[in-house]
Structure 1
Amino acid sequence: MNHLVLLAQVQEIAPLRYTPAGIPALDLTLRHESEQAEAGGRRKVSLDLKAVALGDQVKPLQALGLARLARFEGFLSAQRQGRGVVFHITGTQQIQPTSAQDASLHPD
């Protein structure tokens, strides 16, 4: 199964483009920061992830804007020429941060 759910913030949004089939596409970069349990300890995790939204997913992401916390759902695929991965967003839900989420997204 290839299914990813990620709490993240939009760091960059590229200009709207269209696929050869005429489908709107939006390329973006997501930033995730948290603390995770691993091997009996806590680990700080920070990553930037390239993502793309197609069709009906474009407008909600444009409305979300930069630096807003959201829950992104979708799947991973290889980038063109097989260099790295890209997260294909199939659903987005804006999150109102709680103090606990703020702490996990911005660890000291």
Structure 2
Amino acid sequence: MNQLQFVGLITEREAIRYTPAGMPIVNALLQHSSQQMEAGIARLTEFEIAALAAGEISGRFSQVPLGGIYEFTGFLAKKSRNSSRLVFHIIDFRPANVGQHLDTGA
């Protein structure tokens, strides 16, 4: 199974573009920061990840404000056939619940 779910902040987002086949795509950069328990010890986890929203969800994603905190669901795939870099493909997103917290380090 290849599924990833996390709460993240939209730090960068490009304008919507279209593939040669006419599919809309929006590229973005998402940031996550949280505290996780590992082996009984609290650990700060932080990452930035390249992301994209393709198809129907790209229109909705392109309209939300930068800096917004959302719960993202999607999967990881290589950026291209010949690349080893991973990109998070957004399948769905929604505003993060009040009980969820993203520590942006500020």
Query: How does the TM-score come out when normalised to structure 1?
Result: 0.87
Greater fraction of residues in helix:
1
Which AA in structure 2 matches 1:20? P
Q: Secondary structure at the match of 2:59?
A: helix
Q: Secondary structure at the match of 1:50?
A: strand
Whether the aligned pair in 1 keeps the contact of 2:32 and 2:104 (CA below 8 Å) is no
RMSD of aligned C-alpha atoms? 1.7
Q: Secondary structure at the match of 1:66?
A: coil
Q: Which runs of 5+ in 2 are unaligned?
A: none
Which position in structure 2 is the counterpart of 1:105? 103
Which AA in structure 2 matches 1:85? L
Q: How far is 1:83 from its partner? A: 3.1
The list of structure 1 runs, each at least 4 consecutive aligned residues, that deviate by more than 4 angstroms after superposition, is: none
Give the distance between the partners of 1:26 and 1:72, measured in 2 at CA.
15
Q: How far is 1:63 from its partner? A: 2.0
Which position in structure 1 is the counterpart of 2:48? 48
Q: Secondary structure at the match of 1:21?
A: coil
Which position in structure 2 is the counterpart of 1:91? 92
- Structure 2 matches for 1:12-27, cutoff 5 A? 12-27=12-27
Q: Secondary structure at the match of 1:82?
A: coil
Give the distance between the partners of 1:40 and 1:67, measured in 2 at CA.
32
Give the distance between the partners of 2:55 and 2:38, measured in 1 at CA.
37
Query: Is 9-18 or 56-65 further displaced after alignment?
Result: 56-65
How many pairs were matched up?
105
Q: What is the identity percentage for the equivalent residue pairs of Structure 1 and Structure 2?
A: 30
Q: How far is 1:40 from its partner? A: 1.3
1:14-38 C-alpha deviation (Å, 9 max, x unpaired)? 1211111101000000000100111
Give the distance between the partners of 1:12 and 1:97, measured in 2 at CA.
23
Q: Which runs of 5+ in 1 are unaligned?
A: none
